[in-house]
Amino acid sequence: MLAKNPKSRFRGVKGKAAARSCESLKILVCLASFVALFPVYIMAQSATTSTLAPTQGASYGTGPQTPLRFEGEAGHENEAVLSVGAAAFYDDNVQATNAIRLADEAVSLSSHLGIEKQTSNLSFTFDYLPFFLIYRQISQLDRLNHSANTTLEYRLSPRFLLGLHDVFSYQNGVLPSITGTQIQSGPPPPTGLNQGIFSYTTRTLANVAGVDLTFAKSRRNSFTLSVGYDQRQYGNQTGAIESLYNGLGGNAGFQYQYRATKHTTLGLLLLHRDTTYRGGTTFGSTARTQIETGYLSLGSHLSPTVSVTVFGGPQYVRTLGAATSLTSLAGKWQGSGGASLTKEARQTALDFSFQRSVNDGGGLYTSVIDTNGSFGARRRLYGLWEGNVVVGVTRVDASLFQNANGTTNAVTAGVDFSRPIRERSTLHISYDTTHQVSNGIIPIFSNFDRNQITIGFDFQVKAVSLGQ
């Protein structure tokens, strides 16, 4: 990953308002300049834990994932943090295609604005990470990129809880999110976009948003209504013979949760998803997919530091609007499901997730059968060093369609080492690798192997307390 989420473990020192008036003015100017230079396009680099949200081990649902943390680790509660960073890296396949393989060195300049506010009735988090890339040779990718996320949960009354999450990204080139960002725990939500397949493009815009309204009938029973929206658009493509598929969709769901014991929750999720794909040619220039999903789930805390979630059920898939011999207009039943295991101890935190479902094809396809697994681990090492490891495996196939035999397999992996330097700076060193192979109807230029080596520093400019 080219951009790094700054890691800071130190708070700014509070002082008297009179003594800090000049400094506060400087900080205000700095923040205003920051916003002016980096307009907010949002993406989910991380989702922070909410005190109002269900704990890990709750039944599978449509909400965002939570970060993988050590036991007892907390974020920047009731703080606004501004940080900057700089990194140098080597990329042996900048355009992510083996047909035109170009290596280059580059510098990444990044900033991070994080806000977290927690009260008895409100939980609000916002993370914004813009970063600018400067390549030594391939100047067409010297662009400003944006990634951020926002989540809000508000208790309307003792029985009603309103939740909102919006994830949005705008980036140039193929920048897989492997290391450098917070490792997520638990399986991806069923309304998320495919994160394991990478497309030959120079620009990608993605947005996933949702609203949830939960009614807690009692301490054991709750009902949730949810609606959501997702979009992914691709810009110029590099060496492509056929165009990529842009996707625009919406979803609506109903969920029932029953807390069987203090540590175990049963759930039922009914979800309708409707997505329209445009721009490609292999499956028709316009294709519409409707998916009806029914999941039963079981979530449990096996111990204070170990939680597990298991879910599964049928999916009914219909394809409409396309006019090629590869397209099936008749509905099909598919089995889907998955599981996750999370351990959060003081020295080691790890997460393993597996999932099989019908999802979007990452631009290469319309809807596909997506099978993926991921493993993430954090470990406190010798001294102040910390190590992170992430591995992801994804396989998508187009067997939903008549006469289609296209498949794509992708493997991503990364390792990251970080250490605080002095009071407010952090050193990080990472290696990331991606391998992708397609067979059948997808063109050969979707295949690529890529390796990146990065070294950089992050510095916390200011941390401002937001009160209690």
The DSSP line for 259-298 is E-SSSEEEEEEEEEEEEEEES-STT-SEEEEEEEEEEEEE
Residue 139 CA: distances (Å) to CA of 95, 134, 194, 231: 12, 7, 29, 28
**What is the end-to-end Cα distance of the chain in Å, rounded?**
35
Backbone φ, ψ for residue 33 (5° rounding) = -65, -40
Q: How far apart are CA 262 and CA 303, in angstroms?
A: 12
Q: 2 to each of 134, 192, 285, 461, how far by Cα in Å?
A: 11, 23, 34, 21
- How far is residue 330's CA from residue 404's CA, in Å, rounded to a whole number? 15
Whether the CB-CB separation of 288 and 324 falls below 8 Å is answered with no
Torsion sign, CA atoms 316, 321, 327, 329: positive
- Taking domain 21-465, whether its CATH number is 2.40.160 is answered by yes
**33, containing H or E segment:** helix 21-37
d(CA 417, CA 68) in angstroms, rounded, equals 16
Question: How many secondary structure helices (H) and strands (E) does the chain include?
Answer: 1, 20
Question: Where exactly are the structural domains of the chain?
Answer: 21-465
Q: Can you give the pLDDT of all 468 residues of the chain as single tens digits?
A: 334 443 343 334 334 443 444 444 343 334 333 333 333 333 333 333 334 444 434 678 887 788 888 888 876 678 999 999 999 999 998 888 888 888 999 999 999 999 999 998 999 999 999 988 899 998 888 888 888 889 999 999 999 999 999 998 888 876 654 345 678 888 888 888 888 888 877 688 999 999 999 999 998 999 999 999 999 988 765 444 567 889 999 999 999 999 999 899 999 999 999 999 988 777 767 888 999 999 999 999 999 899 999 999 999 998 886 655 555 556 789 999 999 999 999 999 999 999 999 998 888 888 899 999 999 999 999 989 999 999 999 999 888 876 567 889 999 999 999 999 988 899 999 999 999 998 887 765 678 899 999 999 999 999 898 876
Output the CA torsion sign for 397, 400, 401, 403. positive
* Nearest to 314, CA basis, from 287, 341, 332: 332
- The H-or-E segment that residue 338 falls in is strand 332-344
385 backbone φψ class: left, alpha, beta (φ>0; ψ -120 to 50): beta
